[in-house]
Amino acid sequence: MAHVVLDDVNKIYGSGPSRVHAVQDLNLEIADGEFVALLGPSGCGKTSTLRMIVGLEEISGGTIRFDDRPVNGLEPQARNVAMAFETYALYPNFTVEENLAFPLEVRGVAAPERRRKAGEIAEILKLTPILGDYPGGLSGGQQQRVSLGRALIRDPAVFILDEVMSHIDAHLKFQMLFDLKAIHRDLKKTMVYVTHDQVEALALADRVAVMSNAKLQQAGTRNELYNRPANIFVADFIGEPPTNFFDVEPDPDDTARLRVVDSGLGFTGSPDRMARLRQSDKSRYIVGIRPQNLRLAADGNTPTLSASVQINEYLGERSILTLGDGNVTFRAMVPPESRAARGDTVTLTYDPADVMIFDAETTVLLG
């Protein structure tokens, strides 16, 4: 196992007009045995990052260390990192056991030891009953587990999975996420799971590192990313439906409030955040509030927010209201019993602590 540190890591492909700065000043520490997800939209630099960890791609700047030892100059074989991809690439003429044991055979491990190791991995991956089967007869999930097993049997120091579930249907994906979490619990290996899907990342990982545009935006637990997003990108990317954002300015008549530009809406911020804003000289901010944090108000609830219903989207266990005031629209998640119809005015309430305030220029969370 290994403790992995990325210190100001950069990746630049090409030069001149074809130059691409794919990873920029990336700092990330992955503890020994930790399960970290690297999450971000396509093209943000995830695969480049993990190819540098594996040793398949030269590091253009910075240092990668395993257990305090720089690995920049080491060949992939010397780093002992295993990588699994979405494609299973199993050998069709080999049994499950032979597929699992193949990396050991390549290394010249004797047959009895290969059998023992394959049996051990099969036990963890629940493949024991099908050790004698051929890949052609296996389900997608079983093939995936054989492929994982083949990577794990080498006993890698770090285990990396790149978009391994991108094309697996939702039902099977759920089971595989569960399996993968159990595998990590059993093996306690340092694992890096790369995905563009926040649901996978948040379900699996101890910690999620969110990337966008070649840069790390935030690394944190599910709670940190959800409740204290470092900037507007993270607030928008994490959570479903996405966070509502509003252009706001301080209300000259009420120091507790931020009023929404070009509408009659306004938000009451928490007293400490509002006090901090008064110290700054900015005239514009961006408020973010999650649809889950806007509730239908009961009599006497404060603060409130009233707007007119544009769409009531019924989703079974909840409904999502799209509301509007002037040119401003936003969404609220409400119980399905709410019968609000298009054109009705509804009054919502919220906790001022859930009103996130961002710097309008830098997009950084102020409080």
Ligand X SMILES: Nc1ncnc2c1ncn2[C@@H]1O[C@H](COP(=O)(O)OP(=O)(O)O)[C@@H](O)[C@H]1O
46/114 with CB nearer Mg ion: 46
Nearest to 183, CA basis, from 209, 169, 164:
164
Q: What mask of x and - would describe binding to Mg ion in positions 218 to 247, judged by CB under 5 A? A: ------------------------------
Which does residue 45 bind out of Mg ion, ligand X, none, counting CB within 5 to 8 angstroms by kind?
ligand X
Task: Name the residues that contact ligand X, by CB under 6 A.
Answer: 13-14, 20, 22, 40, 42-48
User: What amino acid is encoded at 111 in this protein?
Assistant: A
Q: Which of Mg ion, ligand X, none binds 20 (CB below 5-8 Å, type-dependent)?
A: ligand X
From the list ligand X, Mg ion, none, which binds 22 (C-beta under 5 to 8 Å, kind-based)?
A: ligand X
269 binds, among Mg ion, ligand X, none (CB under 5 to 8 A by kind): none
User: Least separation, in Å, of the C-beta of 223 and ligand X?
Assistant: 25
In whole angstroms, the minimum distance from the beta carbon of 158 to ligand X comes to 17
By CB under 5 A, residue 47 contacts Mg ion: yes
Which of residues 115 and 215 has its CB atom nearest to Mg ion in the complex?
A: 215
Q: Angle CA(81)–CA(85)–CA(87) in degrees, nearest 5?
A: 145
Output 49 or 231, the one with its CB closest to Mg ion: 49
C-alpha to C-alpha distance for 48 and 231, rounded to whole angstroms: 23
**170-187 and 140-152 helices cross at what angle (nearest 10)?**
20
Q: Which of Mg ion, ligand X, none does residue 91 bind (CB under 5 to 8 Å by kind)?
A: none
Indicate whether 48 belongs to the interface with Mg ion (CB under 5 A): no
Q: In the chain, what is the straight-line distance between the N-terminal and C-terminal CA atoms, in Å?
A: 38
Q: Which stretch binds Mg ion (CB under 5 A): 41-49, 72-80, 182-190, 228-236?
A: 41-49
DSSP letter string, 57-92: S--SEEEEEETTEE-TT--HHHHTEEEE-SS----T
Which of Mg ion, ligand X, none does residue 331 bind (CB under 5 to 8 Å by kind)? none
Q: Residue 93 contacts by C-beta under 8 Å, 6 or more apart in sequence?
A: 134
The Cα–Cα gap between 3 and 304 comes to 48
Q: Compute the distance between CA of residue 180 and CA of residue 201 in angstroms, rounded to an integer.
A: 12
Q: Which is nearer to ligand X, 20 or 124 (CB)?
A: 20
Q: Which residue's CB is nearer to ligand X, number 44 or number 289? A: 44
- The CA distance from 297 to 306, in Å, is 9
Interface residues with Mg ion (CB under 5 A) are 46-47
